[in-house]
Structures are given as structure tokens and as C-alpha cells.
Structure 1
Amino acid sequence: MNQRRRNVSYRYLSYLPKDYEADAVRKWPLVIYLHGGSDRGSDLNRLYSSGIPDQTYRGREFPFIMLAPQCPEHLRWSTDEWFERFYKEVTAKYRIDAGRIYLTGPSLGGSGTWYIAARYPETFAAIAPMSGFTSHLDYIDKRIDKLLDMPVWAFHGRLDTVVPFEETERIVTRLEGRNRNLRFSAEPDIGHSIHWQVYPGREIYEWLLRYDRKPRR
């Protein structure tokens, strides 16, 4: 399986804070947003359909850089070797505070958030995965200990008929009592669209930005 993994570059959307150009020295937090399955392809405009890109499209301002890579059609965030090249490119291009990098995403992006965080735990100050499959990613199970020191806020609706609630619950159960910064929002009356309730709010961003870590990359 590993022999088929391609080392590739993914295109991405970018959002810069309104004061980014005003200070040529200041470094900013970075939130990496991994989209869901319906936004895969080669048209970056599709990413504006939901999540944080949708919020920026509506004119909302954020105190951080937001980058949203696009996964090719029919693939998963775990299919290709893309993250290291992406990380190297964006940290060279943008003034990023390497101790304040965050990862989040819904559905396919939630699965990708678990996967990328478990593989590159030294990169992220905190993660917020939503409604993602985890049982098909053996890599997560093998590296679950890598997430013990990472702040995690996981989301999943109990009425989800697309990705079973148990997909998030199984990972959270393994982290409970071992991760001091674990938070789980198990919403009783929401289905797969939980991200439509979360990203328009403020709390998720305030929670992410609360965390800082010294970079080890």
C-alpha cells in the first residue's frame, strides 16, 4: 500500500487577516481546514461551500491565517504524501507562528484531521475533528499515544446517518483519562451537518487559539 502513495502538492485556498500586510514582521496563527468529501476535485471555488472558507466568503474576519488544501477527486486525506510538502511551502510563503498551528475539518476532513495529527503530532497546537471515519485508518490506532499531549475537541452528532457516531466515540474513549485537554461534543439532536452549527460560532476559534506550543519540526 505504501508503495502506491504519491508525493504530491495540493492546491489550496488562502485567507489572510486584514492587518497581515500592515506589519511585515508579525507572525500569525495558522488554521488548516480540511474539507469534506463533496468538495474534492480541482475547482478551489467548491471549498467556499461550507466550513471556514464559507465564513470568509461571507466576509467574516479572523485573527489568523486560514489555508484550505483541496483533496483530489475520489481520494482521501490519507491517500497521498502531501502534508510535508504543503507545510514546507506555506511556512516559507507566509509569516506563520510555528507554535500556533491548528487543524480542523468535517466528515472526510474530520478523518483527515485525526490522521494528519497522529502522523505529525509535533506540528499542531490543537485539533478539532468533526464527524470523521476512524475505523479504517489503522495508522490512528497505532499512533493514538501521539495524541495524548495534544488538545483535542472532537464533535459528532448522535443522529449522524452518514458517518456513525461510534467512529468518533471509539477514539475519544481511548483518549479519555489519558489526555488532559480532551473535549467531546456529542450532540444528541444533530446529524452529519454538525459543522454547520460549529464554524459560524465563536467558541471553536477561541478554544483553538488558546493553545500554543513550541515547534519541534
Structure 2
Amino acid sequence: MKRHSLVALTLPLVSVLLVGACSAPSSSNDASEQNGLACANYAGTWELFLEVDDSDCNGFGKQLKQVFVVEQQQCELSIDSGVTGDINGQQITWSVPSVRIDGGELSYASATAEILDGKITGSYLWEWSNSAYYCSGSTTVKGRILPEQEAASAELGEFDLTPPHPLLSPAENTTAHTFTVMAKQAEQVYLAGEMSDWRPDVFQMKANGDGSWSITLYLAPGAWQYKFVIDGNWIADENNERAVDDSRGGFNSVLVIGEESPLLSANPEIAHGEVVDARFASSALNKASPYAVYLPPNYHASEQRYPLVVLLHGYGSNYQQWLVDGKVQHLMDNLIAKQAIKPFILLMPSGEQSYYTGEYEQLIMQELLPSIREQYRIKPGAQNSAISGVSMGGAGAFYLAHKYPEQFGLSVPLSGYFDMSIYRDFTWQNFTMQSALYLYCGEDDHTSFQSNQRLVEQLENHKAEFTYTTAEGGHTWRYWNGISAQFLSQISAFFHP
């Protein structure tokens, strides 16, 4: 899914630094000197309200209140975190030391504030990076210096004002479910899964006093994959027998609220296609690479030729992801039986963590595709071939369709993680997109939504033709399963205009 295993920045720690960068005036009217000019006295107890935008760092944002003491020596402000600020009239420029946090370095590109009539406004641009990942964000600040009477009784510290997650409250068409896990020695336990967009720090569970921890969520119908995060360790629910392979040597637990969509289940009353699991001896990899092929119902009973769709898996997963999590074989069978789509063949290759460049690009484009076209009855021409994928696979679907328009007439990236710097031979200079392009992304996707927005902006700047469909949903198979019938129908319509 994600390219890197970056844990979302610990916002309370980030905001403490930003508070140092967000200055406020004091209630005193004394003045200090700077270059012979008087500086207003801004020392005192400050009350600040922060809006943190960390979406580029895989966060959901944060709203905080902080109350703290600011000291002043002449025309310099300081707080006990080591942040200092230079006063120039009503403007304050802050010097914020960089700090190590979450395995990387947090630094500030700019940090300024303005004080006018006792009101404080500020904006701060910050960056986080390690050896493999870079992201940036901003914080806006509004606040005031508390009058002496209020300051005397004010509680110092940081207070989280972020609205509670909507799944913690009842809503129409939801069912309450209480998740419980026994963890007697644990210090912190969280519930993580499709309900949190797989973020590990959204739903903190409460200790019950007997060694168990629990939390109640209000969930919409359908399947929800999840795990418990116990003191940083991800663990499946041992009391839930329903589970799926997590592609990392373990399992995700699955809770079904109500009934799952019948499109995602095998129907014994209809004709079924065939899934062929095979291996290809690759010269590019110097090893055998596994792949799967879906053949539509009655493939062997006729001489008919079919269009081809290549489905790419996500980062950290494997070629079976579309079968295990995507249940695409059941979708195809059911949609064909309902005559919602016309039959086509699916190829699901292995890409490991390659982003479908280098040796795996060579495997797919120069070795496996020619072999599959020779082995199976596939219609020739780009007008009869499409490519799609999720997350890393979505980016690969865009990249390969752009590079090989003679091979793919249509590209359908689903929540693609579009870090185009990964693709060394890709450039926006003189960009054209010959293949048709249908983009999808969930609006609650903290991994890919921002990169999709940036890609769309670039496509618009280059006057490329494309469609971009967003809807409620995260970077999860719950979202992708929910749109699968739609995008498979679009692909069928492309093959049969």
C-alpha cells in the first residue's frame, strides 16, 4: 500500500513546537528597546488555538488549545522549549530548533506571527524527513494574551479539541459493535483497520480493570478488516475465526455487519470462471515469478477471443491480493451472469515492491504479456487491453499506460500513490496521455488522496483528458470493493462502445 512504513507524526509533539512558533502578546504595557526603538512587552500567559494540516504526512489534521507562559528580555521572546522570537513592531519572527521525532527530523521553513490589538495570528510551515521519506505541513494559529486575572487561574498545558471520530457516535444505518481484547500487561491498546484507514493511533481502547480493553464503534453494513495494536504490536483478534491473509505472513480479522454484498461471494447457481495460478520463468528476474489468470465462464467451450485487463497489486502485497481481498473472481462471475459486463480475461502479475519499474516492468511488458497473449485467446490491439491497480498498483497502471500506449488503451488507477519521482524516465515536459484515463480515490484516504489531487492538477495543466471520481472511503479494500462493480463496468463499456 504505502511506499514507506512512516508512522503518522505525533501531532501533540509537533504542536508543542509550533506553539513555540506561535507567539502572543502579554497584558503588560511596558516597553523594551531594540536598536533604540521601543518594543511592546508581549510576555505573559498565552492562550492559542491551533489548526494543524498534516495531510501530506498521512494525517487527518488536529485542533488544539495550548496555554503556556512566554518570557521576554528586551526585544526577544522565549518559552521553555528553547524557541525564541524577535520582535519587530507587531511582527514576530521565530527561531525554532529542529527536533528528532518519529524516526525523522522536523524543521521549520518559516514561523511568523502578528500581534494586533491583543489578538495573535500566525502561520507556520514545517517539514519532516528521514532517509526515505519527505512530507510537509502547516499550522495556523489564533489566540490572545490572557488578562492577569484569567492568567492567575488558567490551567497550563495542551488540550485536544479535535472533534470525536464519527464512528464513535450513533448514526443512521449503523450498528454498534464492541471490540474487546485481553491484554493484561499492556500500557496502550488501539483498534486499527479499515475503520481507521489502517492508522494505528485513531481508536484508543479503554482498560476495563480485569486485563481486558474495549471500544464501541457504530459501523455501516459490510465487511471490516481490523487488528489490535498492543504496545505497538499488531495482533489479529484471536476470538474471531473469520480472517484473511494480510500478505505479510499474518492475518487481518474480519467483522461483517449485516450482510456483505452478494457480488463479492461465490454464487452456486451461476456459471463460474476459472482461476489459473502459475509461475513464469523470468530472464529479467533470473527466477520464477508467480501470477494468476482469470478466465471467464465457458472459456474452454468456444473459440471466442476476449479483451484483457491487467490488475496490479499494492505495495507489500502480492499477485493474489485481487483474489483474496478484491474477490475479483466472484465479482466477474456475478457481473457476467447479470449481464452487467461482457466477459474479459484478467491477468494478475507479481510486482513485489517495485512500483512496476525496472526488472518487474521488463517482466510484465516484455516477457509475461507476450506469453499470456500467445497462451490464451486474447483480442489484439490497445483498444482491447486495459490496466488497473490499487495504491502502488494504481501508480503502476498510470505509468505503464503512459509509457506503452500501444499496449493499453485504458488506464484505471484506484487510489494510486503517485510519487512520480520514483519513475526515472517519466517527465511532465511535453506530457501527453494517449490512453483513456479513469482515476478513482477515496476522500478519506490519508495515504493517496493528496497525491491524486496533485496528479489531477498536473493533468489539468497539461490539458489531458481524464475522469476523476471521488467518494467517501479510505485506503482500504472496503472502499475498493465498493467501487469494483462500477470500474469493471466502465472497463467493459470501453471494450464495447
Change (3 A) 1:195 1:115: same
Q: Does 1:32 align with 2:316?
A: no
Change (3 A) 1:142 1:89: farther
Residue of 369, 376, 390 corresponding to 1:87: 369
Give distance in 1, aligned partners of 2:388 and 2:487.
Answer: 10
Change (3 A) 1:57 1:10: farther
Q: Which runs of 5+ in 2 are unaligned?
A: 1-282, 337-342
Partner of 1:113: 397
Q: Does 1:122 align with 2:400?
A: no
Alignment check: 8 A CA contact 1:115 1:137 kept: no
Residue of 382, 385, 391 corresponding to 1:101: 385
Percent identity for Structure 1 against Structure 2: 23
RMSD: 2.6
Q: Which runs of 5+ in 1 are unaligned?
A: 1-5
Q: Does 1:209 align with 2:492?
A: yes
Partner of 1:15: 294
Going by fraction, where is strand more abundant, 1 or 2?
A: 2
What is the CA-CA distance between 1:57 and the residue it aligns to? 4.9
Alignment check: 8 A CA contact 1:118 1:143 kept: no
Note the 1:160-171 alignment, pairs <5 A: 160-163=445-448, 165-171=449-455
SS at match of 1:132: coil
The Cα offsets for residues 53-74 of structure 1, whole Å up to 9 and x where unpaired, read as x1215773541111101223x4
The Cα offsets for residues 158-208 of structure 1, whole Å up to 9 and x where unpaired, read as 221223x1212222222237334x110122x31112312211x2x212211
Give distance in 2, aligned partners of 1:13 and 1:144.
Answer: 36
Give distance in 1, aligned partners of 2:443 and 2:411.
Answer: 21
Alignment check: 8 A CA contact 1:7 1:82 kept: yes
Alignment check: 8 A CA contact 1:10 1:70 kept: yes
Give distance in 1, aligned partners of 2:322 and 2:311.
Answer: 10
Give distance in 2, aligned partners of 1:129 and 1:198.
Answer: 12
The Cα offsets for residues 22-53 of structure 1, whole Å up to 9 and x where unpaired, read as 222x210111100112423xxx55552223xx
Alignment check: 8 A CA contact 1:11 1:70 kept: yes
Q: Does 1:56 align with 2:329?
A: yes
Runs of 4+ in structure 1 over 4 Å off: 44-47
SS at match of 1:37: coil
SS at match of 2:346: strand
**Higher RCO (Cα < 8 Å, 6 or more apart):** 1
Query: Aligned partner of 2:427: which letter?
Result: D
SS at match of 1:18: coil
Give distance in 2, aligned partners of 1:113 and 1:47.
Answer: 14
Q: Does 1:76 align with 2:355?
A: yes
Provide TM-score, normalisation by structure 1.
0.78
Change (3 A) 1:113 1:65: same
Alignment check: 8 A CA contact 1:125 1:212 kept: no
Question: Across the two proteins, how many residue pairs are aligned to each other?
Answer: 195
